[in-house]
Amino acid sequence: MAQGNKTANVYLAEDLLQYIALKKLYVFGCVCFEEGIQKFKCTDVTALDNTFRYIFERVDMFMKIEHPNQLAKLVFDDRDYGTNHPNATAITNFFMRSPRGLALNSILKTPFFAISQAQNVGLQLADFVTTIIGLRFESCLYIQPYFEMLKPTIYNYMDGDRRISGLKLIRGITRE
């Protein structure tokens, strides 16, 4: 986009991305193209959806590397009781009853819910970031410069000789 064609909204988006980088806020996420699991909604409270698990594993590793004596707090955007209740139950069950969840000991075991429309800046920033990431993986060309600005804030670390990204991509399974 040419410098003279930018709108106030584009300048705001760029300022927000610069703010995220300046404040050293890290991005974690899961982009999922697998139709059966892309709702971030737990239908079975005894089995946490992989979309959540992948994010939790990345947040836990971040905490162990960057803040080893602290705990992360998971704050989710409030959706509705019919979604929040099974999600909260599945998340708590995962952390308290599964070997994988018990090993993630750098995260508070209870999820919190907040309303992004109620001027919750953190959740609004998360919505902004997920919009950029989602559009990038939907191949929207105009979003690429903004994704490039966001990319350095996506946390990653080395596991032996393998780089692990804070952004997990789940591609759909092709069925013939």
pLDDT tens, position by position, 38-96: 566 778 888 888 888 999 999 999 999 999 999 999 998 888 888 889 989 999 999 99
Helix-strand-coil split of the chain, %, nearest 5: 55, 15, 30
CB 55 within 8 A of CB 61: no
**Could you tell me if residue 13 is inside a domain?**
no
**Residue numbers of the domain that contains 163:** 26-170
Long-range Cβ contacts of 96-99 (<8 Å, 24+ apart): 98/48
Number of domains the chain is built from: 1
Structural domain contains residue 87: yes
pLDDT of residue 39: 60
Tokens standing for 96? 């308290």
8 part of a folded domain: no
135 lies in some domain: yes
CA atoms within 13 A on the CB side of 43: 4
Q: Is residue 158 part of a domain?
A: yes
Rounded distance, CA 86 to CA 73, Å?
19
pTM, two decimals, is 0.84
Q: Which of 2-6, 118-122, 164-168 has the lowest mean pLDDT?
A: 2-6
**Structure tokens given for 154:** 């996506």
Q: What confidence tens digit (pLDDT) does each residue in 123-160 have? A: 889 989 999 999 999 989 999 999 999 999 999 999 99
* Domain-located, residue 45: yes
Alpha-carbon distances of 6 from 80, 97, 125, rounded to whole Å: 37, 51, 21
Residue 63 domain flag: yes
Domain assignment present for residue 19? The answer is: no
| pLDDT for residue 152 | 96
Residues with Cβ < 8 Å from 145, sequence gap 6 or more?
Answer: 1
